[in-house]
Structure 1
Amino acid sequence: MYIVTGGAGFIGANLVQALNQRGITDILVVDHLSRADKFLNLTDLEIADYMEAEAFLRLIENKHLKGVEAVFHEGACSDTMATDGRYVMENNFTFSKVLLHWCQHHDVPFLYASSASVYGMTGIFVEERYAESPLNVYGFSKFQFDQYLRQIWTDLRAPVHGFRYFNVYGPREFHKNRMASVALHFYNQYRLDNHVRLFAGSGSYADGEQRRDFIYIDDVVSVNMHFLDHPHSGIYNVGTGQAQSFNEMAVAVINSLEHRANRPTLTLPALQKTQAIRYVNMPEALNGKYQSFTQAEISKLRGAGYDRTFLTVGQGVDRYVQWLTERTT
């Protein structure tokens, strides 16, 4: 049996799909379905069982679970604007510790979601303590679990892999609302309003020129599957290693939609001139808390044997828009 926590969520459901593609259906999905429509992420997938996170926690605390091949731990409160610190720490830190120790006791590989949010505004994206300074309680919960793991690193008996995801986008993220990728927001905005909205310039960045390391979900899943097959315990950045601007993302989304409508594609200046791309002020709540630039340093990932080429924004967006249009037309 394989366990995927957060298995009805974005990355978790895509991992379930990847296991299905290997012919694996003996999968226990653990999640919170307080938002019921997340079940839609599982309707085309094959799993053996579903369990709410609280019941699952009681199960592993009583150790009534056998025959587990690996645990993909994607479940978390992922809202970077969350204000209930106790809830975030209970879900993201305490639960993770319990599951980690259960995996170690039973010699089960543990692959878990960390986050690039641990770096905050340092502008340094290497898997080292000096680069880490989270800006919110979500980032702190992920950082603190990484720190906890570092303290017991020499005592580990089963493989452990922590993945610091950068800006992931792709299928099965519809339920994330404001926390969904800008690719999905731009897609929805353009289809509804015939324009997309980006943040105006801030600091040293021109309008829409804030840059992120955008990584397509297929690449994230590929990294997970690689380390399932080739264990090499560690904490790894999972990004492309290349930052691209929000303008580039917007252009890619719009032109992918226009191409499918048999209309000509346009450059950024042309889209700005026609106001297909518009700029709005950054919300006050994000001042001092917004990462205007991220770019994963991936030499550690490469050094651990992952050598596949990552999709560019243009390539990933085209795949995503194709998937979205097939389901909305």
Structure 2
Amino acid sequence: MIIVTGAAGFIASNLIKKLNSEGFNHIIAVDKFDNADKNKNLEGLKIQEKVERDVFFNWLEKQDPKMIEFIFHLGARTDTTEFDKELLSQLNTEYSKKIWLKCIEMQIPLVYASSAATYGLGELGYDDDESKIPHLKPLNPYGVSKNEFDIWALNQKVKPFYWTGLKFFNVYGPGEYHKGRMASVILHAYRQISESGKMKLFRSHNPEFKDGEQMRDFVFVNDVVDVMIWLMHHRKNSGIYNLGSGKARTFLDLVKAVFKSMKMKEDISFIDTPEDIRDKYQYFTEANMEKLKSIGYPKDFTSLEEGVDQYLQNIKK
């Protein structure tokens, strides 16, 4: 069995789809299955059992550890505008600690989701140097909750025999349709352009960046899934790793790629960044991917233009 938490979510459902394609069909899907739109991500996938998030640890107690091959812990409260610190601590930090301890007790290898939100404004850069992690300054409670678990994990004297934390950058691709405001700019762009023929981007409130030239490391979900499955097979070099494309691109680049894929004339304007996120807005992120490459990860990452086109072809289907 392979356990995937957050199973109905965007990244996890893509992971299960790829695992199925490689012959892994004994999937234990863990989530809070209360969102009909989100649950559509699991339609057609081969899943052995669905387990509610709140009873997962009771379920786990009854299992033979020898039957569990791997845990991918991708479940989390991922809303960067969530300010209920207690909720974020409970779902993102404390729940992850319980999974970590069970992986030690039951000798199960673990890959878990961290986040590039831990880097804050990038004052210390975007290097996955573990010595810098205690000094990072996330901009929101979500990033804090993820960073707190990373710090806790690094400080543990006893660890799972294999474990990896992945700092996801701006992941995009099929399966994020349920995410509302938290969906990628690509999905928002496709919807906005489909409805109006136009796209509005956030204006820059930082004199160092022109409007639309704010930069992000956009990474295609297929690449993220490939890395996770490679780590499952690799099972060496435990630690915390960046997972982005390694190349920052502007929002203008992204939206132009959407217009091109939709075969429509560009029409881009700018609006003020909402005040509730303006002082917590990242103007630049770029994953240093040398650490993952140094342990032997062999694949190249999908270009933004290619990834956008693949994603939009999927949406059209």
TM-score normalised by L of structure 1: 0.91
Match of 1:148 among 146, 149, 152: 152
Q: 1:226 aligns with which of 224, 230, 236?
A: 230
- Shift in Å at residue 130 of structure 1? 6.3
Judged with a 3 Å threshold, the aligned counterparts in structure 2 of structure 1 residues 57 and 197 are, in CA distance, closer, same or farther, namely: farther
Rounded Cα–Cα distance in structure 2 between residues aligned with 1:77 and 1:157? 24
**1:278 alignment partner, one of 269, 273, 288:** 269
- Cα deviation code 1:168-200 (max 9, x no counterpart): 000000011100011111011110111111111
Structure 1 distance, partners of 2:203, 2:135, is 27
1:249 aligns with 2:254: yes
Q: Which residue in the other structure is 1:64 paired with? A: 62
Change (3 A) 1:151 1:131: closer
1:158 partner letter = F
CA distance in 1, matches of 2:83, 2:153: 25
Contact 1:200 1:281 survives alignment (8 Å)? yes
Q: 2:297 aligns with which of 281, 306, 311?
A: 306
| AA at the equivalent of 2:35 | R
Superposed, which structure 2 residues align to 1:1-329 within 5 Å?
1-60=1-60, 63-66=61-64, 67-123=67-123, 124-127=125-128, 128-129=132-133, 132-152=136-156, 154-203=157-206, 204-231=208-235, 232-258=237-263, 271=266, 276-326=267-317
Aligned amino acid, residue 190 of structure 2: Y
Alignment partners' CA distance in 2, 1:284 and 1:43 = 38
Name the SS for the 2:72 alignment partner.
Answer: strand
Q: Partners of 2:316 and 2:294 in 1: how far apart?
A: 38
2: CA distance, partners of 1:41 / 1:112: 20
Question: Secondary structure at the residue paired with 1:14?
Answer: helix
How far apart are the structure 2 equivalents of 1:299 and 1:79?
28
Show CA shifts across 1:80-131 (max 9, x none). 0002111111000111000111011111110000000000013410123266
Of residues 241-250 and 123-132 in structure 1, the stretch that sits farther from structure 2 once superposed is 123-132
CA deviation string 1:33-90 (max 9, x = no partner): 2322211101121101111100113333xx2122110000000000000021111110
Q: 1:163 to 1:25 in 2, by over 3 A?
A: same
TM-score w.r.t. structure 2 length?
0.95
Amino acid at match of 1:178: R
Q: Does the aligned pair in 1 maintain the 2:100–2:160 contact within 8 Å? A: no
SS state of the match for residue 80, structure 2? coil
What is the aligned-residue identity percentage? 39
Structure 2 CA distance, aligned partners of 1:108 and 1:288? 41
Aligned equivalents of 1:131 and 1:257: distance in 2?
43
- Name the SS for the 2:179 alignment partner: helix
Structure 2 residues not aligned, in runs of 5+: none
The total of aligned residue pairs comes to 309
Q: For residue 287 of structure 1, report the CA deviation from its aligned partner.
A: 2.0
Decide whether the 8 Å contact of 1:168 with 1:214 is kept in 2. Answer: yes
SS at match of 2:108: coil
Q: CA deviation at 1:157?
A: 4.2
The residue identity in structure 2 corresponding to 1:254 is F
Task: Verify the 8 A CA contact 1:6 1:74 in the aligned structure 2.
Answer: yes
Distance 1:168 1:118 in 2: 15
The answer on whether the counterparts of 1:122 and 1:131 sit within 8 Å (CA) in structure 2 is no
Task: Note if contact 1:256-1:321 (Cα within 8 Å) is conserved in structure 2.
Answer: yes
Whether the 8 Å CA contact 1:119–1:131 is kept in 2: the answer is no
Q: Are the aligned partners of 2:71 and 2:109 in contact in 1 as well (CA < 8 Å)?
A: yes
